[in-house]
Structure 1
Amino acid sequence: MRRVEHVMGFPVSLRIDDPDVAEETGDAVFAWLRAADARFSPFRADSEVSRYDRGELSPGELSAGLVGVLGIAEHYRAATGGAFDVRLPGRGLDPCAVVKGWAVQRAAELLTRAGARRFCLNAGGDVVVSGGPWRVGVRHPGSADRLCAVLGLTDAAVATSARYERGDHILDGRTGRPVTGVDSLTVVAPTLTEADTVATAAFALGEQGVAWAAAREGCEVYAVLPGGRVLRSAGFPTEAAA
């Protein structure tokens, strides 16, 4: 099975190599991602996140999903000393840095429950794979047609935070200023929930975030700094580099 749909503001591709997995499983994956976007997007006025941010919902009225997402966000806010924060001064609640990886990881777990054993789910460049080995490319931050690394992954996830697609959009919650000391930062972790959130949190910390991410259990990191300098953890699963 191979499908691509535009969900949550980016292309999501699904490849399942198990021949016995029903087509309806793919339908369920994309239905879940659309539902997650409707519930947790800060860009939808009727979403649960927007309603909570406006004070229309009390903490006791929140869904278990949003409670979980906010719990993850608070964990990483504390772990980074406030560099990672989904509530920046002067801005509304924006948990997207947690929601994307969390929602896609749940979609991957849906696939596993449906009997899929070898699959690749790619959400805008953040990837979770089952089975393997899979080869996953990491885009070079200075050139869209080059790779800076190729990873060999089995039952793992990889996420990248970078400046090349959306400019200086990641802010240091301690200062409110854009982070410019890192061009791209890639994290490999057991789940996409962790890989995606750790990548953004580490990016928000700037260059010191590389060591911070590498010190987290199960995480490996690869970062490209301005000028092309590369920092990486010893266990980062690189097969080849440009």
Structure 2
Amino acid sequence: MAVNAVRQVMGLPISVDLRDGTQRDADLVFDWLHEVDLRFSPFRLDSEVTRLGDGKIGADEISDDLRHVLALCETYENRSDGVFKVLLPGRRLDPNAIVKGWSVQRAADMLRAAGLRRFCINAGGDVVTAGEPTDGQPWRVGIRHPDNEHEVSVVLGVRNGAVATSAAYERGNHILDGRTGLPAFGLLSMTVHAPDLTTADAVSTAAFAMGSDGPQWAAGQPGCLVYAVDSNYRVFRSPELPVLP
């Protein structure tokens, strides 16, 4: 049975395309992501993240999930030499750069644990896939042109992998360089193909914040392939990237 559903969760449209699942499986995904939003949103006064950032709970009182997310944040802060940072001076604790990819990847893991083998979850353009939609064909993942929302720069063929793109065209200059606290510049878009969405999302965010040095750094991360467009419209593309004609 095939199921295709879209809901607004975590402030963005999330679509679930299940080629061998049921509505109950789709509901499992949306229920989990709604729970994540309640627990991890820095914009909710009663969320676990806000209460930790405000000092209302201590580090020894947080959930295992939040402890894991914060450990991932520390890992990428170290890997990026401080470019990726979730706590900047004068700002609230905000691990969203990890939370979205991690939570959607967790949803995919839940589906696999339930026995599903062919599905795609698209969270505002960040995508995780399993198997093939039809035999012999990969999932087609389009990467938006940085200047035109109605055009794609490239289409990737993805099987059992994830793709995440960081850019300023949707939400403005929301990605900051953790070393300076200032908006990132130098790139128009930064796309990472990786085995899982946690990695793809974190690496694309850190690389975008690095600016012109980002594509080379991202391409050096384990399992990562990249497609980037800089501010002069030059393209950096990994040779192994699964580009479709």
Give the TM-score normalised by the residue count of structure 1.
Answer: 0.97
**CA displacement at 1:27 relative to structure 2:** 1.1
8 A Cα contact 2:128 2:161, kept in partner: yes
**CA displacement at 1:207 relative to structure 2:** 1.1
Partner of 2:127: 127
Could you report, residue by residue, the CA deviation over 1:118-173 in whole angstroms, capped at 9, with x for unpaired residues?
Answer: 00100000000000211110000011111001001100000000011111111111
Instruction: Give 2:154's match in structure 1, choosing from 132, 149, 158.
Output: 149
**CA displacement at 1:181 relative to structure 2:** 0.5
Instruction: Give 1:199's match in structure 2, choosing from 182, 195, 204.
Output: 204
Once residues 58 and 227 of structure 1 are traced to their aligned partners in structure 2, the CA distance between those partners, rounded to angstroms, is: 46
**CA displacement at 1:105 relative to structure 2:** 0.3
Moved more, 227-236 or 41-50: 227-236
**Which structure 2 residues correspond to residues 36-55 of structure 1 after superposition, within 5 A?**
36-55=36-55
**CA displacement at 1:22 relative to structure 2:** 3.3
RMSD (CA atoms): 0.8
Partner of 2:135: none
Partner of 2:79: 79
User: How many residues align structurally?
Assistant: 238
Instruction: Give 2:194's match in structure 1, choosing from 189, 202, 215.
Output: 189
SS at match of 1:238: coil
Partner of 1:110: 110
**CA displacement at 1:88 relative to structure 2:** 1.1
Once residues 184 and 59 of structure 2 are traced to their aligned partners in structure 1, the CA distance between those partners, rounded to angstroms, is: 31
Once residues 57 and 166 of structure 1 are traced to their aligned partners in structure 2, the CA distance between those partners, rounded to angstroms, is: 31
**CA displacement at 1:78 relative to structure 2:** 0.8
Percent identity reads 54
* 4+ runs deviating over 4 angstroms: none
**CA displacement at 1:227 relative to structure 2:** 2.4
**CA displacement at 1:213 relative to structure 2:** 0.6
SS at match of 2:15: strand
SS at match of 2:244: strand
